[in-house]
Amino acid sequence: MKPRFFTLRTASGMTMKASSLGGIVSSLKVPGPDGKPGEVLLAGPNPESHHAHGYMNAIIGRVGNRISGGGFDLDGERCKMEFNSGSGKTKCTLHGGPVGFDQKIWDVREYEAPEGPALEFTTLSPDGDQGFPGNLFVRVVYTLCESLAWKIDYFAVTDRPTVVNLTQHAYFNLSGGSRDILDHWVQVNASRFTEAGPGLIPTGRVPSVEGTALDLREGRVLRDALALRKKDAALKSAGGIDHNFVLDRVGDGLEFAAVLADQESGRSMEVWTTEPGVQVYSGNFLEGTPARDGGKYRIHHGICFETQHAPDSPNQPGFGSIRLDPGQTYRSTTVYRFGAVGGCDCDCGDDCHCDDNCDCGCGGGRKGN
């Protein structure tokens, strides 16, 4: 079956181009401070190229990130999985296995949601798919909101106990990809991270970011954070940032996770999610990746904010469960909100950190640097 292609447009000037192959987004244009739409995602020459080059802008599942040891135990039974990443003792199952959700042709329905135009992606992952138990019906909805946001809603149901951890592997670059993201400013609302050993397999420890290059609570220019990698063991082993940050959450709803801002283009992006964590990946392996314009991307040319439960959760008793049972519905929401650097209209000053309870009238907006 050949992939189908869809284009969503909002009256506010956003445009998205997406494919039924993996839910891959090949373009996302958002109005900048000057009102002119500009590209905010990296992309390859065609959706078929995205799997081989970092799962670019695709739906990831059944379980995003890494599962160690060739599988996991569930209700006393061993669920065996194929390795598709790493070598030797660092082999693991990455992003759902050799044929994950990014390679599936999804059924797609286009419709008008209350917040703006939407695409509904649905698929049935059969029992035993990539080693996962249970027939899993999955529904993912992309909504382009008139408020200049890309909202992603995930749903899944199963007929047998299984595990689920869905995400989107979007590569953001607020300059439109004309340069790398080293001068982008990044803030992550996380006091802890899941420590990773060789092959980025979690050790099970969840240390503080205090005193590390991963302390992004107050925000930092990415170039400055990565400059610490020779001295910081966490960054040195990963070649940059490629870590799950444990978000400082206060409830179960949609909460602030991160900010990305680019002074030169004047663009900013907030990440909001219902998930407990976010994998921040600074494009450490993008060198030589084919670009949509026929050129090549360089290392650190894009950055990902993969909202998720912690990596290797099925094998880590101390991490939150990603188990899904019959009769339950997996639900998750992530929103990428776009705006202008320093775009909050309140009187909080240049270091605005308003939350949803702020009474200044800014609507919980934050200034990106």
Q: Catalytic one among 50, 169, 301, 309?
A: 169
Which residues are registered as beta bridge partners of 289? 297
Instruction: Please tell me whether residue 168 adopts helix, strand or coil conformation.
Output: strand
255 is catalytic: no
Which among 165, 107, 94 has a CA at the least distance from the CA of 139?
Answer: 107
Nearby residues of 217 by Cβ (< 8 Å), 6 or more positions away: 187, 188, 189, 190, 191, 209
Question: Which of 120, 270, 306, 309 is the catalytic position?
Answer: 306
Does the annotation count 53 as an active-site position? no
Closest of 310, 306, 304 to residue 282, by C-alpha = 304
The DSSP 8-state label assigned to residue 361 in this structure reads S
Give the helix ranges, DSSP H, for the chain. Answer: 222-226, 233-238
Task: Provide Rg for the chain, Cα atoms.
Answer: 19
CA 340, 286, 193, 22: dihedral to nearest 10 degrees?
80
User: 353 has which bridge partners?
Assistant: 366
- What is the rounded distance in angstroms from the CA atom of residue 169 to the CA atom of residue 303? 10
Which positions are annotated as active-site residues?
169, 306
